[in-house]
Structure 1
């Protein structure tokens, strides 16, 4: 793997993951305005429209990360994003983050999107480790990550203060040998 310069389109039964563009701003902003998305991602502060549009417009130029939108194949609507970031080429590792807006919840879209991007990272890019953090008030996401092969590695105790309450951040990761073993089991 040299970098993340190539931006693929990944297609599953339920979702298509494709490179994010500035034109995706309205759908992504609508999803990010959802109070549940705000809490689950611990998003703080407003990003102005111009800054957000510039951000999305420049994602295709980035060689150290992969930003893909999640498209619901049934409706054709953008319902969220899946990202590989915080890349460490020396360690063959990166971080994963995802969010799904209200139009894409409860139908397995996030689980499939996770499997697609993680599979791409390990099988095509040669990543050895992909990790993430999920807050303790989000057991639905933790189950989806576990279905995709992530294992709990530890807990950052009371890492987030939200609305006056403190919450743990659960650290999870999937390693290439575990991913490949799980893929072989599912093919059998």
Structure 2
């Protein structure tokens, strides 16, 4: 199963709405992921995580455009530290807060999720996140208390084009404090400076304005829109396409 694929687009829970920051898809990813992974034995990667990079440290001159892509780095599940958040590997201990997030009505609206999840399905999904060598799933935590604030992921990795989709979902009481932007900056730095991806992209519904603003602040660029591609609440909505490119992003962050 893959929480990122049930709904069109790539992203996770809400952003732009009262909750999270992330491309639309959200629990959709979980829906497909659950189906796929319950029938396919996971493979494991046992590499040790490497330390995270500062949030705002532009890449040294001369290295842009020459960095090699190391997709095997996705098998490493790092802990990334920011000023007010800590990103840790998503695992079984996050089952209950993840289930609450996946059953939140507003989150479902912002992500276009129509699937109903049981706690057992979420538990199985969380327990296998560390074993996925071709994606990265991290829980967002308060570094002081360890409280769960949401989750974020790099998914749908395309080895031929060195690209991946991004998503993020925050709990309803974790929005409006810059947590989404800080988390996105940490993940993009890891994606570009450690994994060496060339492009990270996402989709977000036009009514998820808060998410779109957060993505822009973190360095995503609006590339276009699919007109009236999403149907919700008895009307059609546009889907916005955004992306960040490695050289452009590292030269300014």
TM exceeding 0.5: yes
Structure 2 segments unaligned to the other structure (5+ residues) = 1-69
Work out which structure has the larger RCO, using CA pairs closer than 8 Å and 6 or more positions apart in sequence: 2
Give the Cα separation in 1 of the matches to 2:71 and 2:241.
27
Query: Is the 1:85–1:94 contact (alpha carbons within 8 Å) kept by the matching residues of 2?
Result: yes
- Among 137, 158, 161, the alignment partner of 1:67 is 137
Structure 1 stretches of 4+ moved >4 Å: none
Map 1:172-183 onto structure 2 (within 5 A). Answer: 172-183=242-253
Give the Cα separation in 2 of the matches to 1:82 and 1:100.
9
Q: Secondary structure at the residue paired with 1:152? A: strand
Structure 1 segments unaligned to the other structure (5+ residues) = 184-188
TM-score by length of 2: 0.70
Matched, 1:144 2:214: yes
TM-score by length of 1: 0.93
Matched, 1:105 2:140: no
Number of residue equivalences: 183
Query: Is the 2:226–2:239 contact (alpha carbons within 8 Å) kept by the matching residues of 1?
Result: yes
Q: What is the deviation of 1:76?
A: 2.5
Give the Cα separation in 2 of the matches to 1:140 and 1:72.
21
Map 1:81-92 onto structure 2 (within 5 A). Answer: 81-92=151-162
Residues 51 and 34 of structure 1: CA distance in aligned 2, closer, same or farther (over 3 Å): closer
| Deviation larger for 30-39 or 85-94 | 30-39
- Cα RMSD after superposing both structures: 1.1
